[in-house]
Chain A
Amino acid sequence: GAVVSQHPSWVICKSGTSVKIECRSLDFQATTMFWYRQFPKQSLMLMATSNEGSKATYEQGVEKDKFLINHASLTLSTLTVTSAHPEDSSFYICSARAPLAGYTDTQYFGPGTRLTVL
């Protein structure tokens, strides 16, 4: 089946620093990847849609200058949290869109990255 990996799985950083999270589709090409954020005991909220070779589309209320997304290849998207602050501490999950047996719209999820900003 389609496998998506994320790196790192967890990261702790100081306030004011930037953190990069990678999302890779391991055995398929993904023209579209998605980034979600999940706060404790809450559901996943879509942050942005990342299309290979073009600018990401951000959901309302998500700061594009703070959450930089780069989808440089068909298997890699990166999320950079710039000048991180404690309120950015969260669980970040990516997904990659792939065709499934004749259907075009299935997302496969990565294992998530736990970010803690001190």
Chain B
Amino acid sequence: KQEVTQIPAALSVPEGENLVLNCSFTDSAIYNLQWFRQDPGKGLTSLLLIQSSQREQTSGRLNASLDKSSGRSTLYIAASQPGDSATYLCAVTNDYKLSFGAGTTVTVRA
């Protein structure tokens, strides 16, 4: 059974600092890995999707890397802003099913 772990569980940084969020998974036979953002009481917003054949994806201030062999992914958010405050979820796909981590709750202080 796939287990997805996200560290840290919570993170508080001053505005402008770079954010580093970590995700690890136990079964490396994944189809893809996604990073989502979830605001309180809301649904999921897909941020980045990395296919298993790829090493990284970038979108604006966001960059996600994937090391499938070691079962790790890292999400980098450059120059954080208060609007980046949210919970960030990592999810991997095996056999057409998504397994989610518990998330990292980020607070960016103005």
A residues touching B (Cβ–Cβ < 8 Å)?
6, 32, 34, 42-46, 49, 91, 93, 95, 97, 100, 103, 105-112, 114
> In the bound complex, do residue A105 and residue B103 qualify as a contact, i.e. CB atoms below 8 Å apart?
no
Q: Mark B69-110, 1 if CB is under 8 A from A, else 0.
A: 000000000000000000001010100111111110000000
Count of chain B residues with a beta carbon within 8 Å of a chain A beta carbon: 21
A111 to B43 CA separation, bound complex (whole angstroms): 4
B44 close to A (CB within 8 Å)? yes
Q: A93–B102 contact, CB under 8 A?
A: no
Q: Taking CB as reference atom, which chain B residue is nearest A112?
A: B43
Interface residues, chain B, CB within 8 Å of chain A?
Answer: 31-32, 36, 41-44, 46, 49, 51, 89, 91, 93, 96-103
Considering the chains assembled together, what is the distance between the CA atoms of A93 and B45 in angstroms? 12
Minimum C-beta distance from A65 to chain B (A): 22
Assembly CA distance A93 to B41 (angstroms): 11
Q: Are A103 and B51 within 8 A (Cβ)?
A: yes
